Structure formats: structure tokens, C-alpha cells
Amino acid sequence: MPSVYRILKPALFRLDAECAHNLAVRALKSGFVPGRKPVIDPRLQQSLWGMDFDHPIGLAAGFDKNADVYNAMLEQGFAFVEVGSVTPKPQPGNDKPRLFRLVQDRAVINRMGFNNAGMDVVTQNLSDRARARKGIVGVNLGKNKTTERAADDYVLGIHALAKYADYLVINVSSPNTPGLRDLQGRDQLYELLMAVKAALLQAGCDKKSPLLLKVAPDLTADDKRDIADVAMETGVDGLIVSNTTTARPGNLQSIHKNESGGLSGHPLLAPSTDVLKDFYKLTGGKMVLIGVGGVSSAGDAYAKIRNGASLVQLYSAMVYHGPGIAVDIARGLSRLLAADGFDHVSDAVGVDVSLS
């Protein structure tokens, strides 16, 4: 697969970034992209929330917004796939162009604005293929731009999608929906999470879907402390750290560096890992954390794990390396663990963080 992507990459990079993305999804949906041999390695396998993960590497939300190709991405070697963000009503998102490659910086800027087909379409796509699902699939929930009371949209999403989701994510951290990040404040977040928890109890599912919260990297020390406290108080099952950043490092080189939106890719690796480390400390290592931001190699994934992540997600790296990157990272991660004398990936979680 890497050689196939290397052949296609020059042609894809001649296209607008969003056009290339849509073409990739269509190719995956049609079965044009061959799968990769799965990684089966006891050193990497772990059970979290009652689910068995073949390895720690998953696909972050944003690539498969409408649950069109989650099975295809599982066949590319991801251990789990997160679809969405999904809003109750369909919405077109922000004006185009809204997705930019920063090639010199190995980065991406997006201001998509939760463009998706809505929860009815996603529900249908997940239910149609539920019997043939080939791995763990999470659902990332957002709110419509025009909804005034955010909790209403998240509750609607819970009722519609909880039965089809192996885990659920409350996304309050995208920078591209006005006012969304305000929901990370202590009082607003507590109210939202309590409403969502109540909706989960009312959803009447046969199984309890773990509930995760996705947070921003652009947080003050007080913000992080408040989020950690509320997450533990409300019984959230995990945190995804982190979403894209509105910050612009001074060393960016691309002509697109000043585009508005969220920056992802290599420049986000260090700051998002620092935030991950902070949340591992604030939760005392007692909450499952998913590390995301700037991961494009086994070393990057290993850094996330050593700073508190039990699982790791990526997305932007596929723009530059293709969808087979998950297998390469998982195999490399196993070698790194062995070189450092770790018998199992869980032994490395948080080893670089002092909890004292």
C-alpha cells in the first residue's frame, strides 16, 4: 500500500485538499484501495472499557464524517475508527476553501465547520453494516451551528447513535463552530455532561457505551484543572487530548500558515503532548486518555503513550503518508517497547510523568 500511495500522491496533491479527501473516501468506499495485513502482537493488545484493541493506533474523527468507510479504514490496519463529528441536522459547514495543506510544515489547517450529512444518515450507515463491522467504531458528536442550547443536540445524538457506537465522544473543542469551546468552562461542561449521562441512561441500550470528552490544546492551567475535575466528578470514561489548535507557531513556513481554523499535524505534536501530560497528572493516571495531535511515526505514538495515553489517534499524517501508516506505526511501536524492555504497552503508559 505505501508504494501505491507514493504513486498516487503527486496527482492527489495537484487537487484542492478537500477534493483529494473526497476522492480518497470514494476510492475507499468502492473497494479500490487494498487492505493491509493486520498487526497481531500480544505486546500491543489491550482491553479497555471491556473492548479488545489489537493495538493502540486509531483513526481520529474528521476523516469519515458520515460513517461511509469505517470498515475500509479498519482494513487499512487501524485498531479503531472514530466517525463524525455528527450533528443532529445536516449542515454544509463553512465556505470553501476550508482545508489547506501546509506541506513544508507537515501540517494541515481546516475550518470545515462540522460539515456532515446529519445523524439520520450516520445512523443508517452504522445500522446497515452493524452485523458486518470489522472492529471498534466510535462516534464523535457535535452540535449544529444554529442550536442555542448545546446540550439538546448532544442528547439527540446520544438517543440516535448510542446503540450503534462502541464508544461515544462529546466534542466541545473544535475551533470552527462559534461558541463551542465555551462549553469547556466548568459550569457549562458540568451541565452538559450531566445531561448527556442522563440521556445515556434513558437510551435503553443493551450495552453501556463508554463516554469520552474531546478537549482543546489551547487551555489555561485553570481550564485544564476544571475540565479534569468535572470529568472525574461526572464519571466520564476517558478524555481525548487534543483537538486542533488556533495557535500559529512562529516557525511555520507554508503560504497557508495564516489561514483561519484549526492547525493539525507535526507542529501540534509537542504542545498537544504537553497537554496530555497535564491531564494525566490532573486525573492521577486513573482515567483512560487517548493522545492525538501530530502523530506521524512510531516515535510520536510512543511519546504519547509515555506521557499518559493508553490509545493514540491520527488523521493529518495520512495526507502525507497514506492510510497504511497505522500498520507501520504499530509495528514500529512494538520494536520501541521491546528495545526499552517493556513486555506490554500498558507498562509504558505514563512512565515519563511524575504523579507525586
Is the CB of residue 240 less than 8 Å from the CB of residue 290? yes
Helix (H) or strand (E) holding 277: helix 269-282
Neighbours of 316 (CB within 10 A): 28
Averaged over successive runs of 10 residues, the pLDDT of the chain (356 residues) comes to 73 95 93 90 98 98 97 96 97 97 98 98 85 89 96 96 96 91 92 95 77 96 96 97 96 97 98 98 98 98 98 97 95 98 98 93
pLDDT of residue 298: 98
Contact criterion met (CB below 8 Å) for 280 and 242: no
Residue positions counted in the chain: 356
Using alpha carbons, select from 187, 183, 186 the residue that is nearest to residue 214. Answer: 183
The CA distance from 353 to 124, in Å, is 43
Phi/psi for 320 (5° steps) reads -100, -20
Element (H, E) at 266: none
Catalytic annotation present for 209:
no
Q: What are phi and psi of 99, to 5 degrees?
A: -140, 125
CA angle, 261 then 218 then 277, to 5°: 130
Confidence (pLDDT) at 2? 46
CB-based contact 161:122 (threshold 8 Å): yes
The enclosing H or E element of 160 equals helix 150-161
CA distance 284 to 354: 10
The closest alpha carbon to 91, from 177, 26, 174, 155, belongs to: 177
- From the list 324, 269, 278, the residue with the least C-alpha distance to 302 is 269
Distance CA 37, CA 219 (A): 39
pLDDT at 7: 82
Q: C-alpha cell of 130?
A: 452493524
CA distance 119 to 128: 14
E strands, 51-180, where? Answer: 51-53, 57-59, 80-86, 99-102, 107-110, 136-141, 167-171
Are the C-beta atoms of 60 and 262 separated by less than 8 Å?
no
Cβ–Cβ < 8 Å for 88, 114:
no
**Confidence at residue 1, expressed as pLDDT on a 0 to 100 scale:** 43
Q: What is the pLDDT of residue 206?
A: 57
Q: What would be the CATH architecture of the domain defined by 2-343?
A: Alpha-Beta Barrel (3.20)
Which position among 47, 85, 127, 174 bears the catalytic label? Answer: 174
Is 192 strand, coil or helix?
helix
The cell for 322 is: 497514506
What value does the CA radius of gyration of the chain take, rounded to a whole number of Å? 19
pLDDT reported for residue 61? 98
| Distance, CA of 21 to CA of 72 (rounded, Å) | 15
Task: Tell how many helices (H) and how many strands (E) occur in the chain.
Answer: 11, 13
Q: What is the pLDDT of residue 190?
A: 96
Distance separating alpha carbons of residues 202 and 273, to the nearest angstrom = 36
C-alpha to C-alpha distance for 218 and 246, rounded to whole angstroms: 7
What's the CA gap between 248 and 252, in Å, rounded?
7
User: What's the Cα-to-Cα distance from 150 to each of 144, 222, 236, 286, 316, rounded to whole Å?
Assistant: 8, 23, 18, 28, 28
